[in-house]
Each structure stands twice: as structure tokens, then as C-alpha cells.
Structure 1
Amino acid sequence: MTNLTVHTLEKDDIDSIIEIENLCFPTPWTKESMEGELRNKFAKYVVIKNNNLVVGYGGLWLIIDEGHITNIAVHPEFRGMGIGNKILEELIKLCEKRNIPSMTLEVRISNTIAQNLYKKFGFKEAGVRKKYYGDNDEDALIMWRN
């Protein structure tokens, strides 16, 4: 995959992102929620495109001195190609450019693939949020990177 490009989220990307949300998550964000993120002054999103096709994205909220990752998703047809790595690298760069020293996120206890990605970038387990996910009451692992 040599045609990967990184972009800032734009309104034209939202339909593609919602498609990926619906393919990746049991409780996907709505189009209205994602449009709200465009207006949220704390939200920053990166979009990865392959030949102008959205193949993945990630977002975070920049709050005082921490970046809270809201979501990272890669279209199922493009997994295993390093796109998740690229998204996380870009989110980390966003924090570093703003001198934000800490990043955090919640991830499903069962999602070991995502947990391994985060660990590769220095995130460490810091706790558990019981019954965090409303679709099945699954616990969330809290991870931090300092």
C-alpha cells in the first residue's frame, strides 16, 4: 500500500467513516455524532486514505494536558496493513505538537489486537471500567501513555 495519505477530517469524509463505524463496532457512532465532532473545538481527527478512499481514521479530544483517544478504526478489508499503526502515530504527533504529555483511552477487555497495538506505542494498563460497553456490559481496560 504505497498510496496512503493522511488528512484532517472533513465533512465529505463522514459518510465513509460512518460506513467503517458500522462495519467495526457493535454500537457505532451516528452521523450526527461525527458531524458534531467537526464542531467540537477539543476534537481532532485524522483520516487515512488509499487512492482517495477512506480506509481508516482515528480521533482524540485534547483536554488541558491530555489526549483522550475517542476511536480508531480500520476498514476490515484493509486490516493487517499497518494502517492502525499509522493512525496512532498521527494521533501521538498531534499531542506532541501541542506539548500534551499524556494520552489515554478505553478499550474492550476482549480486544487484544487493539491492546497490543497500544502497548507497542507505550500505552500501559491502568485500570478497568466495569460494564463500560452498553451493548453487552463488557468491561473496558483503561490505558495511559505518558
Structure 2
Amino acid sequence: MSEQPAFSIRRATVGDLEQVVALERVIFANDAWPEALWRSELESPHTFYLVAARADAPDELLGYAGLLSLPGGREGDVQTIGLAEEARGYGLGRELMRLLHLEAQRRGVREMFLDVRVDNPVAQALYRSFGYEEIGVRKGYYQPDNVDALVMRVAV
């Protein structure tokens, strides 16, 4: 059995743009966000993004997660969360979600929302473990695959 790697997590910057976009294209090949959208997400004062790497290779990103919350708003959105294949199964996604929730609470957010593919039971299980419940379905939301999205919500 292999030893669990140590990971480092830090706030994302625009300097991470190239690596985040490259990682996004691997993780979400068919519906990856374009570079311009990523740039606006990383530059926005209303978002909070984290990046993760192995502790022994902090410049090689293996994951990311992001939160959107407007000033004075009581609602927040998990914009995205993605992990490279080799970073899965070690609790890193759980830690990224925990940190997003802490930031949401710091910002005064009381409800968090997210969309998740109906064909991604692993992500759905992670979100349910945080108390998220399904509140709706967006038909054909993920394109070009025409896959439905579950809309989920939790009080924080």
C-alpha cells in the first residue's frame, strides 16, 4: 500500500492561470472553461479560488476549487472543483470543500449552491457528505455531452 502524499493548498492567483486551464482541459475535456472565463474568475473580487499541489512539488498543480459570493449576499456558489486523477482518493477534494465552506462563512454566506453532473456519483457523494441536498435538475446543462445537472443546496 502506498503512503498518502502530503498536499499544500493556497489561494489561487492569475499567475496560476496557465496551469489551471491545462488541468481543466484534462479533467473536464468536453466542457472545460475557456481561458478568458478562468481569467475573469481569478481576477474577480467576488470569487475565492484555491489551488492544490503535492507538498514536495508546490509548483505543479493537481487541483482547484472556487467559490462565488457577492458582497452582503447570503448565498454562495461552488463554481468548480477539480482534481487530477493522481490526486483523487486522498481526501483532497474534501479538504478543498471544507476550506470553501470556511471562506463562505467568513463572508457571511448562509446557503451554498452547486451544480453537479448526474453521471458523477463520486462528486455527488462528496457533496452529500457535507449535507448538500438535491433541489432541482437542469436538463442538458453540460454541453456538448447534453448531460443533466443536479442542483444542490446546503445551509452553512
Relative to the length of structure 2, the TM-score reads 0.88
1:111 maps to what in 2?
Answer: 120
- Is 1:60 aligned with 2:67? yes
* Percent pairwise identity: 30
Q: In the alignment, which of 32, 38, 41 is matched to residue 42 of structure 2?
A: 38
Deviation per CA, 1:66-115: give whole Å up to 9, x if none.
Answer: 11111000011211111111110110011111221110001111111100
Quote the offset at 1:39 in angstroms. Answer: 2.2
Q: Which structure 2 segments of 5+ residues have no match?
A: none
Contact 2:114 2:151 in 1 (8 A): yes
In structure 2, what is the Cα distance between the partners aligned to 1:136 and 1:74? Answer: 20
Quote the offset at 1:130 in angstroms. Answer: 1.1
Number of aligned residue pairs = 146
Contact 1:45 1:58 in 2 (8 A): yes
Q: In the alignment, which of 104, 113, 129 is matched to residue 95 of structure 1?
A: 104
Q: Which structure 1 segments of 5+ residues have no match?
A: none
2:151 maps to what in 1?
Answer: 142
Q: In the alignment, which of 12, 15, 27 is matched to residue 9 of structure 1?
A: 12
Task: Give runs of ≥4 in structure 1 deviating > 6 Å.
Answer: none
Q: In the alignment, which of 22, 26, 29 is matched to residue 23 of structure 1?
A: 26
Relative to the length of structure 1, the TM-score reads 0.94
